[in-house]
Amino acid sequence: MGDLEHVRSWLDEQLPLLLDKYDVPAAAWAVLQGDQVVDGARGVLSKATGVEATTDSLFQIGSVTKLWTSTLVMQLVDEGLVDLEAPVRAYLPEFRIADEEAAARITVRQLLNHTSGFEGDIFTDTGMGDDCIEKYLPTLSEVPQLFPPGERFSYNNAGYCVLGRLVEVLREKPYDECLRQHLFAPLGLTHAATSAYDAIMFRAAMGHIELEPGAGYQPAPIWAMARSNAPAGSMLSMRPRDLVAFARMHLEDGRAPDGTQVLAPGTAARMQAHEVSLPDIGLMGTSWGLGFERFDTADGEIVGHDGNTIGQAAFLRMVPGTGLAVALLTNGGDAFSLYREVVGHVLEELGGVPGPQLPVPPARPEPFDATRFVGTYSAEVADLTVSQDADGRIWIEQVPKGMFEELGEKPERSELVHYRDDMLIPLQPDRGMHMPHAFLGDDGEGRALYLFVGRIVRRAGA
């Protein structure tokens, strides 16, 4: 294994080349080893302004925020104010979804480990006020239940908004204030912002998106998603050094550098431990903990989380028991390929664990009868229609809905090929990744009931 300074030198030398290779406007990184941190940044925060990225620049961390929300919840568990096995309604009697029986059963644990079972990509904008999460909760009243609570994993943004409201009610203060008082302050963070109003005091990255294939990445039309989704990851931004300070607390059994127990002894390990297995699609980890994404490898466990907002992508990886963590924050382009090279190098050099092996389609796809998979799978944010033509080629058309349609995203049609088992995989990558599509369950007529792409999408009409 290498040393920290060698890794710093490699990143300083390679990052400019990799940004150019993968068309990423800017990236910032930090690596923690024990009590030592090195960091760096290159590129421009916005192509519109040309402002250069520095180590103190703020990037959105997206869904990595879920680790912060789960930590706030587990602090309440430590204090005896929350029972993981209790129904959410024990703390939020007003919690409603379309399935009343499921709403009464869903537990705090099931929200934390993404097994609650209701549709989770609900991005309703309820304004910018401190009451936006409180107002968000009633908007879930007609959200469908996709499967019985606890039956399987389905990534759920809305569930983390519910958890954010739970924190607000029990702490009797807004979610952002809970972050500042219970995490920023004890960790001594100086470059973390809960809103655009805070972020503007620093150099802040703008996301870049490609509205038309091949048109190149341009500054996104908005800086952030709805504030109502803040506990799920729509707003929080920071520099990588502050993100690895949070990771250090989790690696050191909940202790801050000054000895303050941010979490009770043993709680951090509980959060990182295996809770539920995922379909083995090769992305989004192999299992999940209480907030933590887990990568179970032959050489040991890696934990962390990814985050994606409007044109920004964030990656956090930690190796329990080694004191090693790496954060990579980006603002557009082929972020996943950059992640594979940068984070992979750090994990192999300093942790002795393999870097990410992203799934790729077979070089010579075999003919495959996709009859069981054909049909439309419908969610709040998109309809996904799988078809197979007379030549045997398999296609998926994605038609955006809701906020993504409003942002100008267009319908996309792409070819899928057989990957393995009940999985198909796109021939062409999306931002550097080929997301396997797993087809699960049975609708009673021999067809797949669910399409799994990190979250469950249910067959329309089933």
- Give the CA distances from residue 144 to residues 23, 100, 103, 228, in Å, rounded to whole numbers and listed in that order: 39, 10, 10, 19
Backbone angles phi, psi at 412, to 5 degrees: -130, 140
- Active-site residue numbers? 63
Measured CA to CA, the distance from residue 158 to residue 143 in angstroms comes to: 10
Please report, for residues 55, 303, 403, 437, 448, the alpha-carbon distance to residue 384 in angstroms, rounded to integers and kept in the order given.
40, 30, 16, 11, 13
Supply 457's token pair. Answer: 């999408």
**In whole angstroms, how far apart are CA 366 and each of 107, 192, 447?**
43, 49, 21
Rounded CA gap, 459 and 267, in Å?
A: 38
